[in-house]
Amino acid sequence: MSLSRSRTSCVIVGTATALAVLTACGGSGEDSANKPAGPVTITFWGWAKGSKDVVDAFNASHTDIQVKFEEIPSGTAGGYAKISNAVKAGNAPDLVSIEYSSLPEFVSSGALQDIGDQFTEADRAKLLPQSVELTTLGGKSWAVPFDAAPQAFFYRKDLFAKYKVQAPATWDEFRKAAEQVKKADAKARIATFFPDDPTTFEAMAWQAGAQWFKAQNDTWKIDTTDAATTKVATYWQGLLDDGLVHKNASFSPEWTGSLKNGTTIGYLGASWGAGVLKGTLPEQSGKWAVAPMPSWDGKPASGMLGGTSFAVTKDSKQKAAAVTFAEWMSTTEEGVKARIASGTSSAFPAAAALRPVAKKAFDASYYGGQDIYALFEASGASINPNWAWGPTTGTTNTTIKDHFGKITQGGPGIKEAVKAGHDATVAELTKRGLKVEG
Amino acid sequence: MKARTRAAAILLTPFFVLFTAVMVVPIGYAVWLSLFTEKQSGLGFGGTETVFTGLDNYTAALGDRAFREGFGVLLGYCLLYIPLLLVGALGLALLLDSALARARRFFQLALFLPHAVPGIIAALIWVYLYTPQLSPVVQAMEAGGIGFDFFSPEGALPSVVNIALWEWLGYNMVIFYAALQAIDRSVLEAATVDGAGAWRIAFSIKVPLVKASLAMVGLFTVIGSLQLFTEPLILNKGTGSAVTSTWTPNMYAYTAAFDRNDYGLAAAASVLLALTAALLSFAVTRLTGRKGKRA
């Protein structure tokens, strides 16, 4: 057989594989319903920090339900694709982690089941209303919220002091601080614009009062270019044009490297970022501090960046057990403690009663003993309640991400990217047969 | 006669069983999928209904600028990649074949080695080498006064071409080298006797004699390029580069299925791509077949 021949068959097989991926037919779920005796086993997919520890703690303290945990890549890094594939193929796990932003998409594609009968009104009342709101769609309850993810600004307090910069309270001050940092050290920047991550930008638009997706009666009103978003886009375009922030992919080796060598001295993230920084840069312990997100008028304001909920897939026969486990993770002291004590999670629980537990379990010496949970608490209360996610987050975010990658000096910018996201969203909703205005 | 037919049937059965299971059935299913769209009503939270929409997914794919631009990217890729690949691989093969080359076996192996590295690993290595602040290559270039952003809109295509070249140059060099080795040595000796130098022999004797494999490699590379997926996908994920999620038609299908949950559109895009590949394959077979007869 000639080498060239093998290449042609490669091409043909390759094409067939591409087709086969789409048709991926899988076996049926392992857990069968006809097993009355012995513990019920459920499968759980997730990627949040500390998940393994939580599952271990649950299995150790429960005999009736046993959980099999499988770690998957984070949602937008391929986790969501894996989940929707598995659902399509009929071999999905019982319980999956889904961020609030993607929940409507999974609900509308019919991948999940309504858990309202198990996850009752009384359970929901224990949780942050903004989080419950984000998991209640079309009047039904679709997921157990785990954390709220209020925004926060993490900064190197040693370098801020060295450069004589104050933690900014407003976006105007943030820009001034950015200029000061650049002046003090030509290579250092106050923060990073993440071209690969539209959700950080969305959280900032959310904070500014934007409402991209509005459900009115049976019509979606889409507006990703409202005044608040335009304000945020113009502001960030200015920072980029003047070279006041770095432009690196989020959590990339490049970003981490710049944090390590002190050329990036701040991070606009959310509550869970406290654990991420601690895990990524253990050698910088004691050098970091957390400040509330800068706001436009100086009053506390926050969007939500990420935030996980647990949802039961449509074919799961173990809904009751899955919801029991999800609630245990979200609303019991043991569940929250097990996660935070793993050391890498700084999740801010949606359950108000458990925040003291989380605070106690989180070793804040990395932040010089700062009471970061009090800060998250204040920030969490200021989360703008008007934001809702639409059922096309995949399309919206992928489109914006594609255009963020093309941002160049003098070329298309953030505003154009957001506009492209708008148009793609409207087109997608229309294609699905939904009523759209926008 | 009967026994022979039976033997043929037995020997061919495994092929046809596998061919049906991994080719015909998936393609058939993809075609079937491409005729349906999941429609929703109200705000979309009431679940989906699969509706027969005929060729709508095909018109949607063809009407989508992103899908058409994907073919444009492929064209640009081929125009840049194929000449470099052919010239590079043939040049290396000629060097190896010339009397000058020492340690032939070593170079043959060393040049072929990158091909043994899976595409995804190669892409990851190159992404590292493209990343400013991390990459020794970029730093060396900057020190030499060359500022080139491998992730910029202008840099994206050369970046991918470079990875592909690294992977395929050695492989194709081996093909050319084998073809060169097959040349009748007496022809070369005759040329030497007639007073031809090494350059003259290379360009007037060797290259014309391996023209057929040159054409083959070129055409197969065109078809292989249609499958461009892994390398740009790695550049798309986690680098914030200008390589979009729909950069090539294959990536378009992937994104449609897994980011947008639109399996119908993904299937239609895949079928269109497969058709293009089939047409090109047909053209290739015709072309090379005719050439064989003439020779």
Q: Which residue is associated with the tokens 């010496």?
A: A365
Contacts of A251 in chain B (CB under 8 A): 238
Contact with chain B for residue A73, Cβ under 8 A: no
Which of A431, A436, A437 to probe by mutation at the B interface, max B CB count within 10 Å? A431
Contacts of B258 in chain A (CB under 8 A): 80-81, 84-85
Q: Where are the domains of chain A?
A: 36-149+305-364, 151-303+392-437
Question: B220 and A254: CB-CB below 8 Å?
Answer: no
Predicted confidence at residue B149, as pLDDT, reads 86
Predicted confidence at residue A261, as pLDDT, reads 93
Distance from CA of A56 to the nearest CA of B (A): 31
For A115, the 3-state DSSP assignment is coil
Contacts of B271 in chain A (CB under 8 A): 19
| CA nearest to A187 within chain B | B133
Distance from CA of B189 to the nearest CA of A (A): 28
Rounded CA separation B255/B232 (Å): 13
Give percent above pLDDT 90 in chain B: 56
Predicted confidence at residue B19, as pLDDT, reads 93
pLDDT in tens, B156-174: 999 999 999 999 999 999 9
Could you tell me the pLDDT band of residue B90, with boundaries at 50, 70 and 90?
very high
Contacts of A249 in chain B (CB under 8 A): 238-240
Predicted confidence at residue B222, as pLDDT, reads 87
Picking from A22, A78, A432, the nearest residue to B30 by CB comes out as: A22
Nearest residue to B34 via CA among B272, B279, B285: B272
Predicted confidence at residue A241, as pLDDT, reads 95
Q: B2 and B119 share a domain? A: no
Predicted confidence at residue B103, as pLDDT, reads 78
Q: B132 and B14 share a domain? A: no
Token readout for B214 is: 């040159």
For B255, the 3-state DSSP assignment is helix
Predicted confidence at residue A2, as pLDDT, reads 40
Picking from A78, A195, A218, the nearest residue to B42 by CB comes out as: A218
pLDDT in tens, B226-253: 989 999 999 988 787 889 999 999 999 9
Contact with chain B for residue A252, Cβ under 8 A: yes
In a domain, B121, yes or no: yes
- Asked if B101 contacts B107 with a C-beta cutoff of 8 angstroms, the reply is yes
Predicted confidence at residue A429, as pLDDT, reads 92
Q: B3 and B104 share a domain? A: no
In a domain, B287, yes or no: yes
Q: B74 and B11 share a domain? A: no
Average pLDDT over residues B200-209: 91
Nearest residue to A275 via CA among A325, A207, A346, A327: A346
Contact with chain A for residue B50, Cβ under 8 A: no
Q: B112 and B202 share a domain? A: yes
- Decide whether A36-149+305-364 matches A151-303+392-437 in CATH topology: yes
Contacts of B284 in chain A (CB under 8 A): 8
In a domain, B51, yes or no: no
The phi and psi torsions of A264 (rounded to 5 degrees) equal: -120, 125
Which CATH number is correct for A151-303+392-437, 3.90.470.10, 3.40.50.10540, 1.20.140.10, 3.40.190.10? 3.40.190.10
Contact with chain A for residue B287, Cβ under 8 A: no
Pairing of strands A95-99, B36-39: unpaired
pLDDT in tens, B23-45: 999 999 999 999 999 888 888 88
Distance from CA of B154 to the nearest CA of A (A): 10
| CA nearest to A215 within chain B | B43
In a domain, B220, yes or no: yes
Q: Does domain A36-149+305-364 have CATH number 3.40.50.720?
A: no
Contacts of A391 in chain B (CB under 8 A): 40, 43-45
Give percent above pLDDT 70 in chain B: 96
Predicted confidence at residue B41, as pLDDT, reads 83
- From chain A residues 105-124, the ones with a CB under 8 A of any chain B CB are 105, 107-110
Beta bridge partners of A141: A136
Token readout for B124 is: 């990851």
Predicted confidence at residue B24, as pLDDT, reads 92
Question: A110 and B45: CB-CB below 8 Å?
Answer: no
Contacts of B263 in chain A (CB under 8 A): 22, 88
Q: B21 and B108 share a domain? A: no
Instruction: Give the structural domain span for B1.
Output: 1-33
Residues 6+ apart with CB under 8 A from B284: A8, B219, B220, B223
Predicted confidence at residue B1, as pLDDT, reads 59
Q: Which residue is associated with the tokens 């993770």?
A: A329
Kindly state the DSSP code that residue B190 receives in the 8-state scheme.
H
Predicted confidence at residue A278, as pLDDT, reads 92
Q: B268 and B171 share a domain? A: yes
Contact with chain A for residue B33, Cβ under 8 A: yes
Question: ∠A310-A311-A315 over CA atoms, to 5°?
Answer: 145
Distance from CA of A218 to the nearest CA of B (A): 5
pLDDT in tens, B105-142: 888 888 899 999 998 999 999 999 998 878 888 888 88
In a domain, B39, yes or no: no
Rounded CA separation A283/A305 (Å): 26
Q: B129 and B258 share a domain? A: yes
Give the distance, in angstroms, between the CA of residue B138 and the centroid of all CA atoms in the same chain.
26
Q: B8 and B148 share a domain? A: no
> How many beta-carbon contacts under 8 Å exist across A and B?
185
Q: B159 and B250 share a domain? A: yes
Contacts of B29 in chain A (CB under 8 A): 19, 22-23
Distance from CA of A276 to the nearest CA of B (A): 17
Contact with chain B for residue A405, Cβ under 8 A: yes
Residues of chain A with pLDDT under 50: 1-36
Picking from A20, A23, A433, the nearest residue to B40 by CB comes out as: A433
- Domain harbouring B108, CATH code: 1.10.3720.10
Contact with chain A for residue B112, Cβ under 8 A: no
Contacts of B67 in chain A (CB under 8 A): none
Could you tell me the pLDDT band of residue B283, with boundaries at 50, 70 and 90?
confident
* Number of domains chain B is built from: 2
Distance from CA of A19 to the nearest CA of B (A): 6
In a domain, B60, yes or no: no
Q: Which residue is associated with the tokens 């990627």?
A: A47
Rounded CA separation B178/A224 (Å): 59
Rounded CA separation A215/B46 (Å): 14
Q: How many CB atoms lie within 10 A of CB B10?
A: 9
Rounded CA separation A213/B44 (Å): 13
Contacts of A7 in chain B (CB under 8 A): 220, 224
Whole-angstrom CA distances from B11 to A2, A12, B17, B209 are 21, 22, 11, 37
pLDDT in tens, B47-82: 788 899 999 999 999 999 999 999 999 999 999 999
